[in-house]
Chains A and B, each alone.
Chain A
Amino acid sequence: DIQMTQSPSTLSASVGDRVTITCRASQSIGTWLAWYQQRPGKAPKLFIYKASTLQSGVPSRLNGSGFGTEFTLTISSLQPDDFARYYCQQYSTSLPTFGQGTKLEIK
């Protein structure tokens, strides 16, 4: 199984800040990576796929990048709606696996 490791586990920031979340894969996955946002008590919501393609309706202040084993999700100019938990997921193999999540909280 491909292990996905996110850092940090928790990130404290303020409205207007720029933040970056990192996701590392235990082996190369090309660009077969998705990012999801999850709010408390809600289902995950797809934000980015193929490492950098924004899902329809996702604001352009979010940016995904990376290839191989290291990936980043950057949010420029944080808005109140952005404070949530984020998960990366690899789909390079028939066994999709997720990172453990990063909680983005208000400082």
Chain B
Amino acid sequence: QVQLVQSGTEVREPGASMTVSCKASGYTFNDYYMHWVRQAPGQGLEWMGWVDPNTGGTDYAQKFQGRVTMTRNTSITTAYMELRSLRSDDTAVYYCARSSPLSGSYYFFDSWGQGTLITVSS
């Protein structure tokens, strides 16, 4: 079965960077875009972008352009999301999520990682 296992909780100071990893198993990693979605405490879900594991191509929400980089390592079927210049309002749970093969032109998400809490605080 599809499994996405993320790295653990982290605390960062304002201005620092953070990287979350997402190890995929149970399917052909290269075949489906990996997305990142975040959820601030008590808030809703916010899409951040995707990485194409096959080509390394990316697309980011405009809000995060210039601050986020999504990459992948196909040899270990792992996707990464780096967010830089962290602010207190980046405190959130960050999820990786796989595009469903039934998505069509755009994306909904049929498998999610367990989430990684990133706290930004001095």
Q: Is the CB of A46 within 8 A of B110?
A: yes
Inter-chain contact B108/A89, CB cutoff 8 Å: yes
Q: Are B106 and A93 in contact (CB under 8 A)?
A: yes
Residues of A within 8 A of B109 (CB): 34, 36, 44, 46, 89
> Would you call A99 an interface residue if the criterion is a C-beta within 8 Å of the partner chain's C-beta atoms?
yes
Known: A43-B95, A45-B112, A95-B61. A87 touches B44 (CB 8 A): yes
Please name all residues of chain B whose beta carbon is closer than 8 Å to the beta carbon of A93 when the two chains form the complex: 106
Chain B interface residue count, CB cutoff 8 Å, equals 22
Q: How long is the Cα–Cα vector from A92 to B106 in the complex, in angstroms?
A: 6
In Å, the complex CA distance between A16 and B95 comes to: 33
Q: Complex formed: what's the CA distance from A95 to B97 in Å?
A: 15
Complex contact A55–B110 (CB within 8 A) = yes
Interface residues on A, range: 20 to 34
- Residue pair A94, B44 in contact (C-beta under 8 Å): no
Query: Are B47 and A94 in touch, CB under 8 angstroms?
Result: no
Q: Is the CB of A49 within 8 A of B108?
A: yes
Q: Are A43 and B107 in contact (CB under 8 A)?
A: no
Instruction: From the candidates A43, A45, A91, A94, name the one contacting B59 in the complex (CB within 8 A).
Output: A94
Nearest-CB residue, chain B, relative to A30:
B104
- Look across to chain A and name the residue whose beta carbon is closest to the beta carbon of B108: A34
Count of A-B contacts judged by CB separation below 8 Å: 58
Q: CB of A64 within 8 A of chain B?
A: no
Query: Which residue of the partner chain, among B46, B61, B102, B112, contacts A98 with CB atoms under 8 Å?
Result: B46
Q: Determine whether the beta carbon of A96 is less than 8 Å from that of B106.
A: yes
Task: Taking A98-B47, A101-B45 as given, write out 18 further A-B residue pairs in contact, using a Cβ cutoff of 8 Å, ordered by the A residue number.
Answer: A34-B109, A36-B109, A42-B114, A43-B112, A43-B114, A44-B109, A46-B110, A49-B100, A50-B102, A87-B44, A91-B103, A91-B106, A91-B107, A95-B61, A96-B106, A96-B107, A97-B47, A100-B44
Q: List 28 A-B contacts (CB under 8 A).
A: A34-B108, A34-B109, A36-B109, A42-B115, A43-B95, A43-B112, A43-B113, A43-B114, A43-B115, A44-B45, A44-B97, A44-B109, A44-B112, A46-B100, A46-B108, A46-B110, A50-B102, A55-B110, A91-B107, A91-B108, A92-B106, A94-B59, A96-B47, A96-B108, A98-B44, A98-B45, A98-B46, A100-B44
